[in-house]
Amino acid sequence: MRPAIHDASARQYAGGPSLVPGRGGNRNDRARKPGPSDIEAEIAGLLDQSTQELRLAWRKLHRTEPPFGMSRDLLIRSLADDLQQRAHGSPNLALRRRLQTLAGALEKGTHSFDPGVVLKAGSTLVREWRGRTHTVLVRESGFEYEGERYRSLTVIAERITGTHWSGPRFLA
């Protein structure tokens, strides 16, 4: 029989579970990222909670009182959004700015979306492809390329390249 070793580094050979969380032991006992079904269950559980319980959940999450007069419905929606962001990550800064811009425009009654490049009738699009220059004329009812009329730039790009391309991107 071996003599007892009182060195802490020898514990790893003792055959018992490790004292360090997440090391050794049962892998199923480890903390895991909540899956979609877990989040959906938590969100569904919000509907069954009382307003006081929802306010308590808000306080635990935000470390402050919910805004005065915030309705039960809005509490549920906000907490559900927080749960989803915790599980899936929050939107990036560019998306948040764009959403803020759109929301502000909606409040003012204006449209702030960018429709992209608007081509005026009579404009000419020129693209060089494999040593050949291709010219497309913009018409009121579509486009003209090599004497034929087309409704889509994508069809023209496919005809030029022999493969699928985004017409606006190809001719931009």
Summary mean pLDDT of the chain: 81
Distance CA 51, CA 72 (A): 6
Distance CA 76, CA 55 (A): 10
Tell how strand 124-129 and strand 148-150 pair up.
Answer: unpaired
Residue 100 above 60 pLDDT?
A: yes
pLDDT, average across residues 150-161: 94
Picking from 8-17, 49-58, 100-109, 110-119, which range would have the lowest pLDDT averaged per residue? 8-17
- Tens digit of each residue's pLDDT (9 = 90 or more) over 9-27: 544 444 555 444 444 555 5
Distance CA 172, CA 170 (A): 6
Tokens 């959940």, located at residue? 57
Domain extent listing, the chain: 33-113, 124-170
| φ, ψ (nearest 5 deg) of residue 104 | -65, -40
